[in-house]
């Protein structure tokens, strides 16, 4: 694999790219894709979030998953798909299968890199207005440029359709090399403390009480009710999604941090404490996450909150519902499943949760998207039974979730990772909407659930960044 820094000029880069692209028509036919890899050494991919010469790319996806050992930045698109309705997972799967058959990966780095990036909305109920109005139920694409880091090594992946793209790819690779050689662009944005606008507290708490009574009557076991908080950008400034996600990554080190640029400049960012699935060949890992307590700077009080959570019948019941539903969803596609008998404590920066790690061996022929389809939505973000809980959410939530709590992530050859898009917000220049939900069970207290959602929203609130407009 050629080291990007070793190519002396754009002419040699173009020759190297043309050599790889010429193989594509013979090996995959017309319309096929080819990906070429370059060694970047020990480069931090997110360093190029603000790089001059790359910021104009309309498609943008950033991912940091420390536990999954992958940080990446994807720019541009050479192929994409949007899907809507109940069959959206199947439609994306069919498109991905076609692209995989027509793609040649040149080099070891390309064969183990994400090929597709994107995500799904929480439901197939499209938004007609509000911040999600232009976002599709599902959107996935093949990046033109992807920088990935695993361990201490980084690679640049370039993707194109035919040899006619060699010149533009060489120019793009040159811009990457120039950006890496330049001094890192310092963030021009600053964190901002802003008052948020909530939906009426009384109305939301009344919905919680209505749902709780239905649970007591045996209609439901659990329902997750979410709410949103709106923030307006400071006068003379606009929200900066790159600075916001950088703040999230710096503060929420155990979370999966992501950035997805959407239609007309809106951007979805988050620092999710929960992954839906990681797939590596036939091996699957997932988790059942539920229950929340705040953390404390005092170690004794911090531990006391953990003990309280472990001993809470309400939270243990809520978390058990999630674990049972995941195990039931895996039964048709897993030949074996392993998990501990008791949940453990999952520690985030400001909160702790109950967590059951689950490992499974997938049956032959099970794709990552089939895994995602069967697992989403879990009772951690919807409730139980799932169908009845989704109906209750549609009846009692005063917001459209959009991509909040949906699966977002990446897919490669035999590998994939999906996060549940929690601790998240959608940002435009002028406004931002943060989202959080709480699991309602028979023992729920509406005021306590309101406070829990406020605690979760604080993750985004502390990270929001804005930059002043040029005079």
Q: What positions carry a catalytic annotation?
A: 222, 274
Secondary structure letter of residue 429 according to DSSP: S
**Pairing of the two strands 103-106 and 33-41:** parallel
The rounded distance, in Å, linking the Cα atoms of 345 and 178 is 45
φ/ψ of residue 123, rounded to 5 = -135, 175
**CA 17/CA 431 separation, integer angstroms:** 42
Contact, 173 vs 156, CB < 8 A?
A: yes
Both structure tokens of 121? 């909305």
What phi, psi does 379 have (nearest 5°)?
-60, -15
3-state secondary structure at position 4: helix
Task: Tell me how far apart the alpha carbons of residues 312 and 318 are, in angstroms, rounded to a whole number.
Answer: 10
Bond preceding residue 377 cis, omega within 30 of 0 = yes
Look at residue 304 and give its three-state secondary structure.
helix
Residue among 164, 69, 177 nearest 114 (CA): 69
Determine contact, residues 62/72, Cβ cutoff 8 Å: yes
Closest of 27, 313, 350, 5 to residue 156, by C-alpha:
5
Q: Which of 441, 373, 433, 368 is nearest to 404 (CA)?
A: 433
Of the candidates 450, 462, 317, the residue with the CA atom closest to the CA atom of residue 383? 317
> What is the DSSP secondary-structure string of 79-122?
EEEEE-STTHHHHHHHHHHHHHHTEEEESHHHHTS--EEEEE-S
Helix locations, 102-200, DSSP H: 108-111, 166-181
């Amino acid at each position: 694999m050629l080291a990007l820094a070793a190519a002396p000029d754009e002419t040699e880069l173009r020759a190297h790219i043309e050599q790889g692209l010429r193989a594509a028509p013979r090996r995959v036919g017309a319309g096929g894709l080819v990906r070429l890899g370059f060694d970047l050494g020990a480069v931090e991919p997110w360093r190029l979030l603000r790089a001059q010469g790359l910021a104009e790319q309309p498609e943008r996806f950033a991912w940091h998953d420390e536990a999954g050992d992958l940080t990446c930045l994807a720019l541009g698109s050479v192929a994409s798909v949007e899907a809507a309705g109940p069959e959206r997972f199947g439609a994306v799967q069919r498109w991905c299968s076609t692209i995989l058959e027509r793609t040649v990966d040149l080099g070891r780095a390309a064969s183990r890199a994400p090929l597709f990036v994107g995500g799904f909305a929480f439901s197939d109920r499209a938004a007609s207005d509000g911040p999600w109005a232009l976002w599709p139920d599902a959107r996935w694409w093949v990046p033109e440029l992807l920088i990935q880091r695993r361990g201490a090594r980084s690679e640049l992946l370039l993707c194109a359709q035919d040899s006619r793209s060699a010149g533009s790819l060489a120019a793009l690779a040159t811009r990457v090399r120039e950006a890496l050689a330049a001094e890192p662009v310092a963030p021009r944005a600053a964190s901002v403390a802003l008052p948020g606008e909530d939906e009426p507290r009384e109305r939301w708490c009344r919905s919680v009480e209505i749902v709780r009574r239905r649970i007591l009557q045996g209609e439901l076991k659990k329902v997750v009710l979410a709410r949103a908080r709106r923030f307006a950008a400071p006068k003379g400034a606009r929200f900066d999604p790159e600075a916001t996600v950088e703040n999230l990554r710096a503060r929420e080190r155990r979370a999966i941090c992501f950035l997805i640029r959407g239609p007309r400049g809106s951007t979805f960012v988050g620092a999710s404490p929960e992954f839906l699935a990681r797939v590596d060949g036939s091996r699957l890992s997932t988790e059942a996450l539920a229950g929340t307590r705040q953390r404390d700077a005092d170690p004794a009080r911090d531990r006391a909150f953990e003990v309280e959570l472990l001993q809470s019948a309400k939270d243990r019941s809520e978390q058990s519902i999630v674990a049972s539903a995941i195990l039931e969803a895996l039964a048709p596609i897993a030949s074996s499943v392993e998990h501990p008998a008791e949940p453990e404590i999952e520690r985030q920066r400001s909160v702790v949760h109950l967590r059951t790690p689950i490992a499974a061996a997938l049956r032959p022929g099970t794709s990552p998207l089939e895994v995602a389809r069967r697992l989403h939505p879990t009772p951690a973000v919807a409730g139980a039974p799932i169908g009845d809980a989704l109906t209750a959410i549609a009846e009692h939530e005063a917001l459209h979730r959009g991509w909040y709590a949906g699966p977002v992530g990446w897919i490669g050859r035999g590998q994939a990772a999906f996060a549940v898009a929690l601790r998240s917000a959608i940002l435009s220049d002028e406004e931002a909407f943060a989202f959080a939900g709480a699991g309602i069970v028979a023992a729920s207290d509406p005021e306590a659930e309101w406070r829990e959602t406020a605690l979760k929203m604080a993750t985004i609130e502390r990270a929001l960044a804005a930059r002043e407009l040029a005079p």
